[in-house]
Amino acid sequence: MRIEEIDRPAPGTGEVLVKVTGTSFNPVDAAIRAGYLQQAFPHHFPHVPGIDVAGTVAELGEGVEGWSVGAAVVAFLPMNAPGAAAEYVLAPAQALAAAPKTVELAMPQPWPRSG
């Protein structure tokens, strides 16, 4: 794995851009990295892990209704899409759920910069 700077993704139709405040690395992430799920969930390396995400809505794609910028959300991301081990991640709007209001989202920590 490596840390890279990439352009901020832009949401397409039906997608939401989420500013990530937390993610996890669970057994399915390990299985994806090991190539065990390639036939069920095709992906290409390098692959960004982190299928679970907590964060806030940063931008809405065309046709997205029911969400607003700044809303706290959680989601289980598609297993063949880039994951949430990033500052921002795209999520299908239908994958989002409102984050619990009884606990605060984790505060994002800056990624270490190389160089």
Cβ atoms of 49 and 32 within 8 Å: the answer is yes
Please report, for the chain, the start and end positions of each structural domain, with discontinuous segments joined by +.
15-98
15-98 maps to which CATH number?
A: 3.90.180.10
- The identity of residue 94, as a single letter, is Q
- The identity of residue 67, as a single letter, is W
Q: What is the pLDDT of residues 6-21, one digit of tens each?
A: 889 999 999 999 999 9
pLDDT, residue 71, reads: 96
Q: What is the pLDDT of residues 8-61, one digit of tens each?
A: 999 999 999 999 999 988 888 778 777 777 777 766 677 788 889 999 999 999
- CA 96 to chain centroid, in Å, comes to 11
Cβ atoms of 6 and 85 within 8 Å: the answer is no
Distance CA 99, CA 18 (A): 12
Global pTM exceeds 0.85: no
